[in-house]
A = this chain, B = another copy of it.
Amino acid sequence: MEPALAWRDGHIVAIDQTLLPHEFRLLDIATTVELIAAIKRLAIRGAPVLGAAGALGVALAHRQAAREGWSAGRLRAELDQIASARPTAVNLSREVAATAAARDPEAAALAHLEKGTALSIAMSQLGADFLLRRCPGRPLRVLTHCNTGGLACLGWGSALGVIRALHERRALQHVLVDETRPLLQGARLTCWELGQLGIEHRLICDSAAPFLIARGEADAVVTGADRIAANGDVANKIGTFSVALAARHAGIPFVVAAPESTMDPDTPSGEHIPIELRAAAEVTGTAAPEGTSALNYAFDITPADLVTAVVTERQVIEVTTVRSG
């Protein structure tokens, strides 16, 4: 599969994520203006991918500066514009600053890209090792939520990376994909990525997941994480708690795959993690009567006692022992 982001002949090549799944188009980005536009219109998205876009953006700006004879002031102004293209994405501005401070920005950007990719593959393999130890003897049916593959992360992704590693070991039967309302990242992006990888999958409504788990139609649940508190509580896309609770009820593992950088030792527990409330219109769409109020939390908190293990690029942290089925 094409990576979400690559560096080719001094250009950035990116999958235009606004067109997926109906059209696959690669953007060839040669200038900072093109990069900023692509970030602003969400053609490039996902926190780790935005970080890499920031790093590569510095390399791109240096090439353009050499080509067009920019002053040092002009270069600095361009970098500032890249860094602020998405004000809330801390990864973007952080990686622009880190790469700009490097002696050789292009080498630093490529190293960042390579490291992120390697990290995701290491995490994927550790996760597959863990699941195969936990659920030996049969090809697994794995349920996942939201989009956690190469489009949102680098390389193989997080939870979807674990699924890919199982598939490459011929240890995967199929994937149950939560559609992930309200924005349908599961239906739009995860189904597309699994299709690209030739991995068998079935789309389900989010509310069907707990029932299918209870009915014995999944051997394990794997998701990503947006933040992990010091006590092991996990903030992730809304709906994660629901499948974690069902996994516990059914006695199957609920595994979180996330890089070490997701762990936040300064936040003691989930109740200290602020949960973003997003616009009602994402939920009401055109179906509900005009003016309907909605309560649209973008994330939820899964308490540590429902988490079987957290898998990072370095380790597997077993949080709880799964109840026998």
Contacts and interface: CB of A to CB of B under 8 A. Distances in A.
A162 interface: no
A287 B181 contact: no
Nearest to A300: B211
Given A205-B239, A208-B238, A245-B249, A187 B297 contact: no
Interface string A282-296: 011101111011111
B207 A245 contact: no
A179 interface: yes
A192 interface: yes
A181 B301 CA distance: 22
B295 A176 contact: yes
Given A21-B289, A188-B288, A205 B245 contact: no
Contact of A293 (B201, B205, B208, B209): B201
A252 to B, nearest CB: 14
Tell me the dominant secondary structure on chain A's binding face.
Answer: mixed
Contacts of A300: 208, 211
B181 A206 contact: yes
Interface of A: 21-22, 176, 178-182, 184, 187-188, 191-192, 195, 201-212, 214, 217, 238-239, 241-242, 245-246, 249, 280, 283-285, 287-290, 292-297, 300-301
14 contacts: A21-B289, A22-B289, A179-B287, A187-B288, A201-B292, A201-B293, A204-B294, A205-B238, A207-B207, A207-B209, A207-B242, A208-B300, A210-B241, A211-B300
Given A21-B289, A22-B290, A187-B283, 8 more contacts: A192-B289, A203-B292, A203-B293, A205-B283, A207-B209, A207-B242, A209-B242, A211-B301
